[in-house]
Amino acid sequence: MQTKRGSETSFAAFTDHLAVVIRIVLEATTMRRGRSYWKMNTALLCEEIFQEQLRQLWVEWSKENKNYPTVLMWWDRVAKVQIKKLFIREGTVKRREETEWEIFYYACLYDVLQRPIQHAEREQRLIIL
């Protein structure tokens, strides 16, 4: 069930139109998550810090090679699993950081867009006085 919590208009950037902001509350639905297909985010390989981290971990993972009868078995049970975990962990961190920056920038834009309204109200008050 949707419930309207409020609405307002505010100045929009780079236009002479007003933005309409509507606040609603949505009922949360539960999504069932299951196993899905994972795809490696190769963009992480372009980052120097990530490359160095991967090199260091690769040295550690390579030491376990002697504990397996074949390189293929080591690859399947150690290297491939650890690489996947590393990419998932780093992707999650990167996505969280990007979301935090996005929220920060939207908050800054919102603050900037609210300032002209305050100045306009002050000017109207001064004119009335």
pLDDT of residue 45: 95
Per the domain annotation, does 56 fall within a domain? yes
Per the domain annotation, does 114 fall within a domain? yes
Per the domain annotation, does 58 fall within a domain? yes
pLDDT of residue 43: 94
pTM to 2 decimal places: 0.57
Instruction: Give the total number of structural domains in the chain.
Output: 1
User: Tens digit of pLDDT per residue, the chain (129 long)?
Assistant: 557 677 788 887 777 788 888 777 777 666 677 677 888 999 999 999 999 999 999 999 999 999 999 999 999 999 999 999 999 999 999 999 999 999 888 888 887 777 655 555 555 655 665
Q: Which range marks the domain in which residue 112 is found?
A: 40-128
Distance CA 61, CA 79 (A): 6
Per the domain annotation, does 44 fall within a domain? yes
Per the domain annotation, does 20 fall within a domain? no
